[in-house]
């Protein structure tokens, strides 16, 4: 699990080519993960391969972010935005409300909490680097198994 995250982080590193563990170490120590950090990792998860090239363009092409959102790469990212990106990346259909109205940050957050990919809180709460790594690890388990139950016991 962690090996895949290291691989994703390595390939998703800024052009300066950080060492494999430097990106995750830097992310792990952040009090607030940035949208750029989340986008790079989720694009890699969605592609089932490391993100290479322009992760911003790839995220938009894959529909992982709403085009109307004005999110800066260096700005902090909230749990609702990460949840929305994960719902889109993993193809999570959700319950009745999401099926009828489509995903929103609020309902995506509720769904990933229900699936135990993310711990509780509120959709508007900022996510730390450590939490982002944990969420991506749970999302990778969900992607492989269709649930997180086996790994959480």
Tens of each residue's pLDDT in the chain, 153 residues: 554 554 454 444 454 555 557 878 898 999 999 998 888 888 878 776 555 555 666 777 778 888 788 888 888 999 999 999 999 999 898 888 888 888 889 999 999 999 999 998 999 999 999 999 999 999 999 988 877 666 554
Q: Is residue 17 part of a domain?
A: yes
The structure tokens listed for 122 are 């509120």
Q: Is residue 151 part of a domain?
A: no
Within 13 Å and on the Cβ side, how many CA atoms surround 151? 17
Q: What is the reported pTM?
A: 0.78
Q: Is residue 89 part of a domain?
A: yes
Q: Domain total for the chain? A: 1
Q: Is residue 152 part of a domain?
A: no
The answer to whether 137 touches 111, Cβ cutoff 8 Å, is: no
Q: Is residue 28 part of a domain?
A: yes
Q: Is residue 61 part of a domain?
A: yes
The answer to whether 44 touches 11, Cβ cutoff 8 Å, is: yes
Q: Is residue 116 part of a domain?
A: yes
Domain that holds residue 142: 2-146
């Amino acid at each position: 699990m962690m090996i895949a995250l290291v691989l994703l982080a390595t390939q998703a590193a800024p052009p300066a080519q950080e060492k494999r563990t430097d990106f995750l170490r830097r992310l792990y120590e952040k009090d607030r993960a940035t949208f750029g950090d989340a986008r790079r990792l989720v694009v890699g998860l969605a592609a089932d391969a490391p993100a290479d090239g322009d992760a911003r363009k790839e995220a938009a092409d894959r529909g992982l972010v709403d085009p109307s959102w004005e999110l800066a790469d260096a700005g902090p990212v909230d749990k609702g935005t990460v949840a929305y990106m994960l719902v889109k990346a993993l193809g999570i259909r959700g319950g009745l409300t999401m099926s009828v109205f489509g995903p929103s940050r609020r309902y995506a957050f509720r769904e990933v909490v229900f699936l135990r990919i993310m711990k509780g809180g509120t959709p508007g709460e900022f996510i730390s680097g450590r939490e982002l790594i944990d969420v991506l690890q749970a999302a990778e388990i969900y992607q492989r198994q269709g649930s997180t139950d086996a790994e959480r016991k």
